[in-house]
Amino acid sequence: MYGYCEGERVTYFIRLPANAVLNRLIDPYLTRPVGSPPKSGIQIRLVDLRYQAQTWDKERRVVVKIEWHDGELFPRIGFIVTNSKLPAGKVVKVYNGRGDVENRIKEGKNTLRWDKTSCHRFAANQARLLMGVLAYKLLHMLRQLRLMREEVRRSMAWLIKRLIKVGSKVAYHGRRWQVHVASAFSLAGYYRAVFG
């Protein structure tokens, strides 16, 4: 996989499991930093290494993140293999950003049923997935642009239940479409913010 990415000029950030050789390479860096820990209670050291596994044809860059948490005896260690030329801190930041991407994928699967591709034809499954991604993108734009002043970040399920699945009447008059909701509807302000 590394060779393919390098051949296609794709930048990768991949977690690497610990092994005896990596543990031996980072051994000099495992002393706890001197001084009082920051307010977060976590002291971090980043190490840039060159490492070649037995199955690799060449050495590759490995960024190591060593964290000492206040009250814990042993550090937490993570290895990231990459072909990026970014500084070690940015490599870790990019790698950690994948968590948010995974949350967005989970949100799409749970609320818009992206994973429901039960048709026998590939084109039909692809069309369904693309429609789900389009719906997700529209809901995400709605969440970002119209509801960004709120302190709480609304989930896709909240948007769908409160704003989309609402009893309303749609009327067409002349050149205008109108959406009528009950005057007692408590979230009517959101409709005015979205459609106003």
Q: Name the E strands within the chain.
A: 13-16, 42-51, 60-69, 76-82, 168-173, 176-181
pLDDT at residue 35, rounded to an integer? 76
Neighbours of 163 (CB within 10 A): 17
pLDDT at residue 65, rounded to an integer? 95
pLDDT at residue 104, rounded to an integer? 80
Distances (CA, A) of 196 to 5, 89, 178, 179, 189: 47, 43, 11, 11, 10
Helices 88-96 and 98-112, axial angle in degrees (round to 10): 10
Residue 184 is classified by DSSP as T
Classify the phi-psi angles of 7: left when phi > 0, otherwise alpha if psi is within -120 to 50, otherwise beta: alpha
Distances (CA, A) of 132 to 109, 114, 135: 9, 6, 5
Contact predicate 80/91, CB 8 Å? yes
pLDDT at residue 80, rounded to an integer? 95
Q: Which helix (H) or strand (E) holds 121?
A: none
Low-confidence ranges of the chain (pLDDT < 50): none
- In this prediction, what percent of the chain has a pLDDT beyond 90? 31
| Rounded CA separation 84/47 (Å) | 15
| Rounded CA separation 9/22 (Å) | 26
Given the structure tokens 């060779």, which residue do they identify?
3
pLDDT at residue 97, rounded to an integer? 83
